[in-house]
Chain A
Amino acid sequence: MAAVDIPVAGGHAADAHGDPHANYLKAKRGIGSWLVTLDHKRIGLMYLTMVSLAFLVGGIFALLLRIELFSRGKTIVDGETYNRFFTLHGAIMVFLFIIPSVPAALGNFFLPIMIGAKDVAFPRLNLLSFYIYLVGLAILLVSIVSGAVDTGWTFYTPYSVQSSNSVISMTLGVFVLGFSSILTGVNFLVTVHTMRAPGCTWARMPLFVWGMYATALMQILATPVLAITLLLLCAERFFGIGIFDPKLGGDPVLFQHFFWFYSHPAVYIMIVPGMAINSELIATFSRRAIFGQFAIAMSSLGLALLGFLVWGHHMFAAGMSEFATMLFSALTFLVAIPSGVKVFNWTATIYKGSILWASPMLYGMAFIFLFTIGGLTGLFLGTLSVDIHLTDTYFVVAHFHYVMMGGTVIAFLGGLLYWWPKMTGKMHDERKAKIGFWFVFIGFNTVFIPQFIMGSRGMPRRYYDYLPQFEPFHKVSTVGSWILATGLFITAYTLLEALWKGKKAPRNPWNSAGYEWLTETVPPLANFHQPPVFTRGPYDYHLATPEELATGEDGREVSFTTQMAAKESTHPA
């Protein structure tokens, strides 16, 4: 078997799943075949569509917020509406966009391919998770239409027990979305444990998969606690059980403890996938084995573990014992270790690498830069005395946007551009992608650097109006939001344009050694034509054959049989 047989159309009779060798986009046709598909790649694309729409809607709310803050006093909306806008911006971005973005869209598509599996372990649960996501989305929409929520995305008691009734539908929606997240997590965890192809050992497993694995662990262990918290919140409103209500002997701070016990790991559910993508980008575009592969993999698990121990740092000013605040502060500083391990290893990988400045790499480099700022400002906030000054100011807003937007969203965009050829079979226009990148990068910094400054000078977050001395900062920040939006629209256009105008993508446009680039572009329904056997790690550029690293203009899969014969004598790292 020197080469892989690309089956001729109609060469195999299609069974219930369609021909496993057919291009997954064309194996079955019609909208109906998408709605009931069990193929992880199609489910990933459907998720991608929905999270992109959510990102658009959340982004529109962000733009409206920035316009309102452009000048003092009322600019476009009144204070009540403003409260609703920032709640919706937060809730939509967190629950509908960032949490499902990387795992459910890109992870769904690439995790099985990158471990050489035919699908995730539970394809039907995968589809179910998508529909549960849609139900959660619908419930959130209902709560928006029925009078909107103004509690902020954190639903703090006692306000959330007293404010409008949409809080219930909103929490119910988030509760349902949590189930979707849990199902994805269970699926990934089991897939990684039981479905790796021969040769894809734990030591060789791609770092993207390691990141997804750590994320899955957090989704599984943290989300149920959010579920019970929101359930208690509903019980509080309907039955008055009083667990969070001081009038009934309850404690509103307990809500914060429960909430952040989920939501701090949730922050890592958002950022670890971004780091996972970035490890792939940095290795591919530096064209060398990633430095400290094992350390990066373990640092993902380290973040997953530490994520459960630091929730109290959201509550330094909420009323905890001094001992508890000191403990949480110390634990928070520990987070710097796995984060630092990643940043230093990426930097060491780039050092003396053969760097290709393609658009995904620009995002990869931006990730390191922006995440480092986001991470280091986190240390300010973890320091007790400094936090008393900075808590609930724009400093916090800027800090988490540097991590969430500057980290996860940047990595998400980089990952999209990186994998777009494999997903769609079309190459995007690199020039437009790079122009889009510079708009995003400059716009993003223009939005949030002023927020760091005004936060450190005492501008409180979530305020509708502000003192005259903050006006220049708000103006710059708002203008930045327009630059950022322009960049995002250019990038979206670049990706969509590729679909109808893009050139046919080769098998391995970035000459990567990664496993996912070995398969055909576009991948067949069963992901590989031959059951893959991996004889080297995904970053072993020194062991990869020229055939594997070649662009592969015809898009055909690399033959694993010849590979194995060629490398019988090599010893895996």
Chain B
Amino acid sequence: MANVSESVHAHGDGGGDHGAHAHPDFLQHHFDTPVQQFNAAKLGMWVFIATEILMFGGLFCAYAIWRGLDPRVFDDAHHFLNKILGATNTIVLLFSSLTAALAVRSAQVGKRNLTSLYLIVTILCAGVFLVVKYFEYSHKFHLGLLPGHCFGHPGLSAAVQNGEEVGTCLRVHADSAPVMPEWVKAADEDGHVRLLSPRANMFFGLYFVMTGLHGLHVIVGMSILAWVLYKNIKGKFSPAYFTPVDLGALYWHLVDLVWIYLFPLLYLVGKPE
């Protein structure tokens, strides 16, 4: 692999028949000019972001279908999500997008230390987001809202449906009133005890898949930004070359943007008129 990393930077001057213009260090051998290289990288990132949006698009499409079919169930189920924590995370992510953008700006004008600072703040915000998410998830697990647990899946939890195991939620939160086995009775975030239709399964299924996939993207985004931070500290960037900072921030904006849609759709979804 040494070969690969060597060749990243540079084209030595040995074989060069590249015409008169000088080849800066960061310019890869197959590009003619830094502008061409930057344009290629930027277009590549935008196209990659398009693929990400289409991937999430499948989930949003599934969400639209089931929300359209079961608006009341979605309304009931969304009371189990904590709006305060969700809003906090939204603010944290929006702020981190701001710092990511500022990091690009400071890289552009060559303020290396400031770039590092902004990157560190961005990564810390991502960390805060994940910690909050951790508390939200563990509370849901505790309530048994993970699909396949309370919401019996015939393949996975035959035992669950027939009794003992079921019901962390039924046992802990349900009163003695007879409840159909597939229905779930639990206290929502405001402390109201609610009866959840078995179809709420779909809401929580989508909740976990959508936020889970988004969480994965947060982790990937943190890793990318950490790598950019490392390169920045090593002094690899200059006003002439800051492409990775730019593209890392672009990716981070995507992560932010997806959450901007997830938050209202999952936490704030209302009752139909």
Contact = CB atoms under 8 A, between A and B. Distances in A.
Interface in A226-284: 227-229, 231-232, 235, 237, 239-243, 245, 247-251, 254, 258
Nearest to A221: B54
Interface stretch (A16-24, A326-334, A540-548): A16-24
Interface string B6-43: 11101111111101000000001111100010011001
Interface string A403-432: 000000000000000000000000000000
A507 interface: no
Interface in A202-217: none
Contacts of B156: 239-240
Nearest to B32: A531
A569 interface: no
Given A240-B148, A247-B154, A15 B15 contact: yes
B209 A248 contact: no
Contacts of B47: 186, 189-190, 220
A320 interface: no
B40 A249 contact: no
Contacts of B30: 117-121, 123, 195, 526
A232 to B, nearest CB: 7
Given A119-B30, A123-B30, A239-B208, A248 B7 contact: no
B131 interface: no
Interface stretch (B94-102, B187-195, B198-206, B232-240): B198-206
Contacts of B230: none
Interface string A75-118: 00000000000000000000000000000000000000000011
B15 A14 contact: yes
A186 B44 CA distance: 6
Contact of B209 (A17, A18, A119, A235): A235
A224 B44 contact: no
A194 interface: yes
Given A225-B58, A241-B206, A531-B19, A124 B4 contact: yes
Contact of B205 (A14, A227, A235): A235
Contacts of B61: 258
B1 interface: yes
Contacts of B147: 239-242, 248
A241 B147 CA distance: 5
A251 B68 CA distance: 14
Contacts of B14: 12-15
B15 A17 contact: yes
A248 B201 contact: yes
B165 interface: no
A251 to B, nearest CB: 8
B11 A121 contact: no
Given A224-B54, A224-B58, A258-B58, A239 B48 contact: no
B146 interface: yes
A16 B12 contact: yes
A190 B43 contact: yes
Contact of B155 (A122, A123, A222, A240): A240
Contact of B7 (A38, A122, A223, A531): A38
A249 B15 contact: no
A127 B16 contact: no
A240 B150 CA distance: 11
A33 B198 CA distance: 58
A36 B40 contact: no
A161 interface: yes
B209 A232 contact: yes
A162 interface: yes
Given A186-B51, A220-B51, A240-B157, A15 B13 contact: yes
Given A225-B58, A241-B201, A16 B6 contact: yes
A239 B4 contact: no
A15 B8 contact: no
A248 B11 contact: no
B45 to A, nearest CB: 9
A232 B58 CA distance: 10
Contacts of A297: none
Interface in B41-88: 43-44, 47-48, 50-52, 54-59, 61-62, 65-66, 70
B153 interface: yes
A249 B198 contact: yes
Given A231-B213, A248-B153, A220 B202 contact: no
Contact of B51 (A117, A223, A239, A245): A223
Contacts of A237: 155
A5 to B, nearest CB: 10
Contacts of A247: 154
A182 interface: yes
A224 B44 CA distance: 16
B201 A242 contact: yes
Name the residue in A15, A118, A220, A251 with the highest tally of chain B Cβ atoms < 10 Å from its Cβ. Answer: A15
B11 A15 contact: yes
Contacts of B36: 194-195
A223 B50 CA distance: 11
Contacts of A249: 70, 198-199, 201-202
Nearest to A189: B47
B52 A242 contact: no
B58 A122 contact: no
A231 B214 CA distance: 13
Name the residue in A124, A228, A237 with the highest tally of chain B Cβ atoms < 10 Å from its Cβ. Answer: A228
Given A186-B48, A240-B155, A13 B58 contact: no
Interface in A122-151: 122-125, 127
Contact of B44 (A122, A223, A242): A122
A190 B56 CA distance: 23
B29 A118 contact: yes
Given A12-B14, A15-B13, A242 B62 contact: no
Contacts of A245: 153
B183 to A, nearest CB: 13
B176 interface: no
Nearest to B55: A224
A29 to B, nearest CB: 13
B251 interface: no
Contact of A232 (B40, B62, B66): B62
Contact of B39 (A18, A194, A222, A258): A194
Contact of B15 (A18, A227, A250): A18
A386 B155 CA distance: 38
A127 B54 CA distance: 24
B15 A225 contact: no
A225 B54 contact: yes
A517 B31 CA distance: 22
Given A231-B213, A240-B155, 9 more contacts: A17-B29, A121-B30, A162-B155, A228-B56, A228-B57, A231-B209, A235-B208, A239-B146, A258-B61
Q: Which 6 A-B pairs have the closest CB atoms?
A: A240-B153, A241-B205, A240-B148, A228-B58, A15-B12, A224-B55
16 contacts: A12-B14, A13-B14, A14-B14, A15-B16, A16-B7, A16-B10, A118-B29, A186-B44, A189-B47, A194-B43, A220-B47, A239-B147, A241-B205, A241-B208, A248-B151, A249-B70
Interface of B: 1, 3-4, 6-8, 10-17, 19, 28-32, 36, 39-40, 43-44, 47-48, 50-52, 54-59, 61-62, 65-66, 70, 146-148, 151-157, 198-199, 201-202, 204-206, 208-209, 213
